[in-house]
Amino acid sequence: MNTTYTAVAVIFCIGLYCVIAKRNLLKIIIGLDIMEGAVLLLLVASGYREGGVPPILPASGPMVNPIPQAFTLTAIVVGASFTALALSFVIMLHRHYRSVDIDKIRGLRG
Residues 14-51: tens digit of each pLDDT: 999 999 999 999 999 999 999 999 999 999 988 887 87
Whether 110 has a pLDDT exceeding 60, the answer reads no
Q: Tell me how far apart the alpha carbons of residues 98 and 110 are, in angstroms, rounded to a whole number.
A: 16
CA of residue 50 relative to chain centroid, distance: 26
Cα separations (Å) of 9 from 2, 41, 65?
11, 10, 22
Lowest mean pLDDT among 9-23, 33-47, 49-63, 85-99: 49-63
Q: What is the pLDDT of residues 74-85, one digit of tens each?
A: 999 999 999 999
